[in-house]
Amino acid sequence: MATKQAFQEQLNPFEIAKQQFNIAADYLDLDPSMRHVLETPKRQLIVSIPVKMDGGDVQVFEGYRVQHNVARGPAKGGIRYHPNVSLDEVKALATWMTWKCATLGIPYGGGKGGVICDPKRMSKDELERLTRRYAFEIAPIIGPDRDIPAPDVYTDEQTMAWIMDTISMVRGHTELGVVTGKPISLGGSLGRNEATARGCLYALREACKVKGMSLQGSRVSVHGFGNAGANIARLVAEDGARVVAICDSKIGLYAEGGIDIQEALRHKAKTKCLAGMRGVKEIPSDDVLTVDCDILLPSALENAITLANVGKVKARIIAELANGPTTPGSDRVLADNGVFLVPDILANAGGVTVSYYEWVQDQYSFFWSESHINETLEQAMRVAFKSVHETAQRYDTDMRTGAYILAVDRVAEATRVRGIFP
């Protein structure tokens, strides 16, 4: 029983986030006082969300908003709706957002939100009522200069529109910049929908250069087929890669000759799942992590690659579109096996980068073309990749630790310069 509990503790996302931070802090020789400040979330809000359901009864949901650090600017981070949301998960995600923004040099701190619910079992009207009440409850701590939410797991541009409208009603004026990931008609940014995947594509191209590989012709496996997973599968296929495996939460698909991603997108749009697609072999979802491939793209939830399955991973490059998909123990195994891992705080930072562009556009009411956004994103991702890779080489360590050293040093410097009030 004790062994089982110890194993479960290792999978606690906030404990993992602290482990990753402390590894970088050791390299930087941070003093204990600075460590305490940087590993402790600044603010944690827990709210009760009463929602009148379609049947007339009222259910009460629990929601969270965590702001980890705001030394470099307002908090920034998504909102997820999922049955397994927990306060520790949201704290971890807020922490990772702090380091992600610092890695890209974006003037934000880290925030995150979540509601414990099963959106697949709720109607659109119920989701709207839940969203608006949640937005009202967290309204005192969010805003364009305080904390800017965005979409995450099982939330989308419609969710953001409801939040923006609710906050605007509360404050008596339209507040475009209170959230990002909005519809274009409400101050959203061109390119935001595929920004996470496109940013990963740019980082992946750089990783291929480091490994002396070509993305064209490479065999790619994508674990997860939500917004980020579906978009990266499409983008790498357009770059000439052969996507041999994809999956959703229910089923995985495998085809040695490559999966027709456009057909998979059409099939999922029509049936709401990947099951039943012709010309492919159905496999368990988690087998997508261990199929024979050159590049693995974990694009679902955290703790996908653990000590239980890392020994079966065959990819030469892993780029993490999901947040926290690889445990620290698995990191060590992958490094020992020569796998080049592009960490989440770099690989999936395209989303928050274009969210930053959206926020800037909203602040100035001046909007950019999609080509300008994509070009600016590519430059930002290439600069960040180069900085992380150079840091990793300078400290003779892996890319994740290199990214953390870079990010933690930037946040620590901002904290030192600002000082502690009063």
Amino acid, single-letter form, for residue 137: E
Nearest CA among 158, 18, 184, 140 for reference residue 79: 158
Specify the residue for token string 């009760």. 48
**pLDDT < 70 stretches in the chain:** 1-10
HSE, CB side, 13 Å, CA atoms: give it for residue 377: 34
The architecture CATH gives domain 195-347 = 3-Layer(aba) Sandwich (3.40)
pLDDT digits (tens, 9 = 90+) for 142-182: 999 999 999 998 999 999 999 999 999 999 999 999 999 99
pTM over 0.75: yes
CA angle 186, 189, 194 (to 5 degrees): 125
Domain 40-175 architecture: 3-Layer(aba) Sandwich (3.40)
Dihedrals phi, psi of 290, to nearest 5 degrees: -120, 10
pLDDT score of 10: 64
Main-chain dihedrals φ then ψ at residue 113, nearest 5 degrees = -140, 160
The predicted pLDDT at position 301 comes to 83
Cα 233 from Cα 264, distance rounded (Å): 10
Which residues participate in catalysis according to the annotation? 112
Rounded Cα distance, 318 and 313, in Å: 10
Burial class of 58 by CB neighbour count within 10 A (0 to 12, 13 to 18, 19+): exposed
Type of residue found at 134? Y
Report the pLDDT value the prediction gives residue 302, as an integer from 0 to 100: 87
CB atoms within 10 A of CB 83: 11
Cβ-based neighbours of 244, under 8 Å, separated by 6 or more: 219, 220, 221, 254, 255, 256, 258, 259, 291, 292, 293
Residue-level pLDDT at 32: 96
Alpha-carbon distance 146 to 73, whole Å? 8
Where do you find CATH 3.40.50.720 in the chain? 195-347
Tokens 């027709």: give the residue.
Answer: 260
Q: How far apart are CA 308 and CA 156, in angstroms?
A: 33
Name the phi and psi angles at 369, rounded to 5. -75, 160
- Decide if 259 contacts 243 (C-beta within 8 A): yes
Structure tokens at 360: 């800037």
Coil, strand or helix: which one is 268?
A: helix
Return the structure tokens found at 7: 């194993």
> CATH 3.40.50.10860 spans which residues of the chain?
40-175
